[in-house]
Structure 1
Amino acid sequence: MKWLYIAAGIALSIKFVIMPSAIADVPDLSIVEAIIHDSGVPNAVSGIIFRNRLYDTIFEVIVFTIAIMGAQFLLANERPFCTVYQFSDQPSIVLARLGATIAAIVGVELAIRGHLSPGGGFAAGVAGGTAIGLVAITSSSEWMESIYQRWHAATWEKISVLLFIVLAAITLVGVELPHGKLGALISGGVVPLLNILVAIKVALGSWAAILVFIRYRGLL
């Protein structure tokens, strides 16, 4: 049976090398231009993620949510660290907070203008999570926890997921907002809103994960 698998793999490899791929004869059609026209945003990647493959994106957001919930559930029964040590030397603190400021600004820029330029909601959320992580390694874990609770970050994370699913479902049934002028900040229908919601979700979810791991595993 092992030799059969090897022979099948070799035959498949030969097929990829020798036999030409079937390509549709559409010389006058630009796929990128078609995606931009259909989605109304210059960033074709955002058009694919939030329109052409929106069904997949919904479940990507749900999987990320389940991962955060799983981390909180699995670590809930462990004993928290008694003392969590942060960076204490002044140069490290200044550099980390400077990096956090830059990352936060980049995250906001990507969330707002991700449908116009390279970037998008996921990249914006990662930038936001990076900013939160840099602040966490230079600040008290109790202070980070109090800020998280004061601003009801967990509630806003859940709201962003629910709003994303509702807007995505409305889009999937064929109801779309006006695209507006191509290249304008307010354009692309629902795509900019989905971008912002994903950014909020990923950033707040990263915040929750950072707090959990610092509480039960110490400073990473």
Structure 2
Amino acid sequence: MKWVYILAVIAIYIKFLVMPNTLGDLPSLTIVESIIKDSGIPNAVTAIILRNRLYDTIFEVIVFTISIMGVYYLLANEKPYAKVHQFTDEASIVLARLGATISALVGVELAIRGHLSPGGGFAAGVAGGTAIGLVAITSSPEWMQGIYKRYAAADWEKISVLAFIVLSVVTLAGYELLHGELGGLFSGGAVPLLNILVAIKVALGSWAAILLFIRYRGLL
């Protein structure tokens, strides 16, 4: 069986060397202008991530999901930590919660307007996860866990992943939403929705990981 794999690798390399990489007629527009024109949004980076290289982004979301599942698996047999270290002085609590508020607002802005300006779903999710982490180090673990369960954050995380994959498959199949007016909030077809779904997934996944590390490690 090993020789089959070796022959397959050699055949693929021969294909790369023998078959030419033909280039079609290049457009008169620059690459960036062409991407903006095709996607209907001014942020070419987001257009590449969520349109031109959507296959890559799908698997990036799946890898992040697997990493959160890995945290669950690796800590499943751990003994909960007896003492949780948190900020206790008033100044640190005020500053941490102020930072959490700012991070949350930035996350919402990046998720909603990431297709118009620098930002996007992953950056928005990181900002949201940062806000949750800052709240976690100033609040009781029981309260954080209660909020997580009350609003079914784990279920919403799974729903966001499934919705992202379904919408991505539909987009890759060639069915696109209306692009709208270039530069408008409701433009870019499915790109804004994909941004929001990624932001929800990353933020809620970070929340789950934070709760696990607090419970089993006593520290963030």
TM-score clears 0.5: yes
> Residues 56-205 of structure 1: matches in 2 within 5 Å?
56-205=56-205
1:82 offset after TM fit, Å? 1.4
In the alignment, the residues of structure 2 paired with residue 91 and residue 135 of structure 1 have an alpha-carbon distance, to the nearest angstrom, of 14
Give me the CA root mean square deviation: 1.5
2:63 aligns to what SS in structure 1? helix
TM-score (norm 1): 0.87
Task: Give the equivalent residue in structure 2 for 1:9.
Answer: none
In the alignment, the residues of structure 1 paired with residue 27 and residue 159 of structure 2 have an alpha-carbon distance, to the nearest angstrom, of 45
User: 5+ residue gaps in structure 1?
Assistant: 1-23
1:27 offset after TM fit, Å? 9.1
In the alignment, the residues of structure 2 paired with residue 46 and residue 173 of structure 1 have an alpha-carbon distance, to the nearest angstrom, of 19
1:178 aligns to what SS in structure 2? coil
1:25 offset after TM fit, Å? 9.9
1:83 offset after TM fit, Å? 2.0
In the alignment, the residues of structure 1 paired with residue 219 and residue 92 of structure 2 have an alpha-carbon distance, to the nearest angstrom, of 15
Letter in 1 for 2:103: A
User: 5+ residue gaps in structure 2?
Assistant: 1-23
1:97 aligns to what SS in structure 2? helix
Count of aligned positions: 198
TM-score (norm 2): 0.87
In the alignment, the residues of structure 2 paired with residue 194 and residue 80 of structure 1 have an alpha-carbon distance, to the nearest angstrom, of 36
Task: Give the equivalent residue in structure 2 for 1:10.
Answer: none
- Once the two structures are overlaid, the 10-residue window that deviates more, 76-85 or 159-168, is 76-85
In the alignment, the residues of structure 1 paired with residue 219 and residue 71 of structure 2 have an alpha-carbon distance, to the nearest angstrom, of 16
Contact 2:129–2:202 (Cα < 8 Å) also in 1: yes
In the alignment, the residues of structure 2 paired with residue 74 and residue 207 of structure 1 have an alpha-carbon distance, to the nearest angstrom, of 17
Contact 2:82–2:218 (Cα < 8 Å) also in 1: no
1:39 matches 2:39: yes
Runs of 4+ off more than 2 Å:
24-29
Letter in 1 for 2:176: E
In the alignment, the residues of structure 2 paired with residue 27 and residue 212 of structure 1 have an alpha-carbon distance, to the nearest angstrom, of 51
Task: Give the equivalent residue in structure 1 for 2:7.
Answer: none
In the alignment, the residues of structure 2 paired with residue 159 and residue 27 of structure 1 have an alpha-carbon distance, to the nearest angstrom, of 40
CA deviation string 1:19-54 (max 9, x = no partner)? xxxxx9969431111010111111001100010000
Task: Give the equivalent residue in structure 2 for 1:212.
Answer: 212
1:84 offset after TM fit, Å? 1.0
**Are residues 216 and 121 of structure 1, via their aligned partners in 2, closer, same or farther at CA, if it must alter by over 3 Å?**
same
Letter in 1 for 2:123: A
1:122 offset after TM fit, Å? 0.3
